[in-house]
Amino acid sequence: MDEMILRDLLKEKTLRDLVVINEKADLDRVVSTVESTETPDVVAYVPPHTLLLTTAMAYQNCQGELCKLIVSLNQLPCAGMAIKIGRFIGELEPQVVQVADELGFPLLQIPMYQTLGEVYHHMLAYIWDNENEDLLYALNIQKRFYNLVLQNASLNKLLSNLGMALKQPIFIFDLFGSLRGSSNATKQEERMAENSFSMMVGELLAQDETAAGEENKGVRDYSIYPIRAASYNTHYLMILETEKRMNTVSSFVLEQVLLIFGMYFYKDFYLCYNEIQQRESFWCRLTEQKKKDAGESQNLLLEGKELGIKKCSYYQVIIGRLSQMEGRRFHTPKFMKKEEQYILIYEWLKEQLEGVYHREVLVFPDTTSWSYIFLVQERRHMAEENMRQLHQYLWQVMGLQLEFSCGNEVYELETLSNSYWKAKASFHNGELKNGVDYIHHYKPQNILELLKSLSDNQIQDVCVQILKSLAYPQDEMSLELRKTLKTYLDCHCSIIETANLLFVHRNTIRYRIKRCEEILENDLRDPDYCFQVQLCLVFTDKC
């Protein structure tokens, strides 16, 4: 149902004798109520969209003051003024009509045979009848949509039903400017709506009120209404009107519609939070620092596969933390504004990263530290530029700072926890690069630290490949050769120092080193190769 406008009010049978005085009167003004008064300071207490009834008795000797009243009422805004001409004012002076025409302010003449009381009651009765129809219509809308929510109807189904009821193009946007759904709209209208919303999103976030605007130089009108899920405006309903100056939808109907959508998104929040709990629990079990048995590891791999984790040759963990939330408690199940923000950002990050990168970047929550964990499964993704864009956009939209910390690269899923804990540590001991103070990069301490990212199986394979039978010797001769080789490398390849430390003759050392070179199939005079051998000896000593 549409709101009452002056043009429709004047079509009522009992009010058809009212005459429009000025030619340029805007009869499309909304009329929400009627007031009858002779008080000069009426502007101070009359509500907006009021149609004022008066005899203008106070202005019979000074119609210039009536011009000032018209200007003030127009700014309110007021629907217009109906004057009973002939009782105190014989006729309106030209300057009064001119001012009204310049403003498009409607001036109506009440016939002499009708009293102000009669006109007042006829108008008010008609407006109330119209409002009663609106109320019944709104209650029917509420009942229909409430049943849809109880039946777990999708957002698209809710929008489709609303579109049929309003018969206008409608859209739902989230606070990041993403179009979540539409009804009765063409692709061109969707693009127009997205452009308009993106230009107004900053203004909308700064206020709770309805926003209105025009598109294409006045060809299309639209209104935007905030939808509150719990304590925060999380989405926005945009109604695109199909004709210039088309009346807005009844406030009764809109209140019920916005309430229903608020219920839908509130319910959606809890569903999303259930997912957050499940994914957070999985991540904790995956990265906990304790040895897992074969059965537990296999179950985690199967569960991870359902979430998008795959076997590949590269992994890196990056943590994004909401720095303003540090030290605060995550309250559940009663969400406050900051919890709603966390959940909204989680959904947005999942859409931005998992969708765009085809799940080669996965997002896991960590509510205890107000963080988001990004599991990168492809080297080229989540570069510094991607992190900068996420940081800047989140700051622009919500005024929140997302601070990043990067773990080391690992090459097997079994060593993923190493990258995760290095990412957590990098918040404190990582290094900053390129003057960016919100991205902490992992800084390896030494080559041994770097090799910790390899699994035991990978280390064993590398050591056997380089040391051959000297990697894990079984017989006494091989054990003696390995001991000699290690001492020789520790002594910087000095035959004399090695012989002195082992208390054997120099020729014996020369023979053993030559025998080692035959087994290794390589020359120990190569410094790079010697370093690899020495490193493998260190690792195999620990096994």
The three-class DSSP label of residue 52 is strand
In this structure, the number of other CB atoms found within 10 A of the CB of residue 516 comes to 21
| Mean pLDDT score, 77-87 | 90
Query: What's residue 542's pLDDT?
Result: 66
Q: Which of these CATH numbers, 3.40.1190.20, 3.20.190.10, 3.30.70.270, 1.20.1050.10, describes 286-445? A: 3.30.70.270
pLDDT for 380: 72
| Distances 442 to 16, 387, 427 between C-alpha atoms, Å | 80, 15, 9
The residue ranking higher by pLDDT, 212 or 475, is 475
Q: Are 397 and 348 in contact (CB under 8 A)?
A: no
More confident position, 509 or 380: 509
Can you give the pLDDT at residue 447?
Answer: 53
pLDDT in tens, 197-252: 888 776 776 665 555 544 443 445 788 889 988 778 889 999 887 544 334 456 66
Model pLDDT, residue 445: 56
Q: What confidence score (pLDDT) does residue 543 get?
A: 59
Residue 481 above 50 pLDDT?
A: yes
Report CA dihedral (196, 197, 203, 207) to the nearest 10 degrees: 130
Judged against a pLDDT cut of 50, whether residue 77 lies above it is answered with: yes
Q: What is the mean pLDDT of residues 328-341?
A: 82
Give the pLDDT of residue 277.
94
pLDDT at 504: 93
Give me the mean pLDDT over the 255-268 stretch.
86
Does 6-126 carry CATH code 2.30.42.10? no
Of 170, 176, 140, which is closest to residue 155 (Cα–Cα)?
A: 170
Q: Where are the beta strands (DSSP E) in 184-306?
A: 211-215, 220-228, 233-241
417 vs 297, more confident: 417
Name the band, by pLDDT with cuts 50, 70 and 90, for residue 454.
low
Cβ pair 8, 88 in contact under 8 A: no
Looking at the DSSP assignment, which residues form a beta bridge with residue 225? Answer: 237
**CA neighbor of 225 nearest in space, from 242, 212, 206, 213:** 212
- Gap between the Cα atoms of 53 and 111, Å rounded: 12
Domain range annotation of the chain: 6-126, 152-249, 286-445, 456-542
Order across the sheet with 50-54: list the strands: 19-20, 107-109, 80-83, 50-54, 33-36
Indicate the pLDDT class of residue 291, thresholds 50, 70 and 90. Answer: low
**Residue 426 vs residue 144, higher pLDDT:** 426
Diameter of the chain measured on Cα atoms: 137
Q: Tokens for 419, please give them.
A: 């990258």
Most confident of 226-230, 242-246, 387-391, 408-412: 387-391
Q: Look at 104 and 293; give whichever has higher pLDDT.
A: 104
pLDDT of residue 292: 63
Please report, rounded to a whole number, the percentage of residues in the chain having pLDDT higher than 90: 33
Which of 1.10.10.2840, 3.30.565.10, 1.10.600.10, 1.20.1050.10 is the CATH number of 456-542? 1.10.10.2840
* Contact (Cβ atoms closer than 8 angstroms) between residue 258 and residue 166: no
| Residue 219, C-beta contacts closer than 8 angstroms, at least 6 positions apart | 244
The pLDDT value given to residue 314 = 87
The residues near 315 (Cβ < 8 Å, ≥ 6 apart) are 375, 376, 377, 409, 410, 411, 412, 413, 415, 416, 419
pLDDT of residue 332: 75
Q: What percent of the chain shows pLDDT beyond 70?
A: 89
Specify the range with the lowest mean pLDDT, choosing from 147-151, 184-188, 189-193, 473-477: 147-151
pLDDT digits (tens, 9 = 90+) for 151-172: 888 898 989 888 887 788 999 9
DSSP letter for 4, please: P
Q: Are strands 371-376 and 361-366 parallel, antiparallel or unpaired?
A: antiparallel
Decide if pLDDT at 536 tops 50.
yes
Q: pLDDT value at position 248?
A: 44
Query: Which pLDDT tens digit goes with each residue over 500-525?
Result: 999 999 999 999 999 999 999 888 88
- The CATH number assigned to the domain with range 152-249 reads 3.30.450.40
pLDDT at 456 over 50: yes
* N-terminal to C-terminal alpha carbon distance within the chain: 80
**What is the pLDDT at residue 246?**
39
150 pLDDT above the threshold of 60: yes
pTM for the full predicted model = 0.61
| Distance of alpha carbon 222 from alpha carbon 234, whole angstroms | 19
- Mean pLDDT over residues 373-377, rounded? 94
* Confidence band for 452, pLDDT divided at 50, 70 and 90: low
pLDDT at 396: 86
Q: Which residue did the predictor score with more confidence, 458 or 100? A: 100
Per-residue pLDDT, averaged over 31-46, amounts to: 85
Burial string for 309-328 (b: 16+ CB within 10 Å, else e) reads beeeeebbbbbbbbeebeee
Q: What integer pLDDT is reported at residue 444 of this predicted model? A: 64
Alpha helices, DSSP H, located in 308-414? 337-349, 384-398
Asked whether the predicted pLDDT for residue 293 surpasses 80, the reply is no
Residue whose pair of structure tokens reads 């590398």 in the numeric block: 462
Mean per-residue pLDDT of the chain = 84
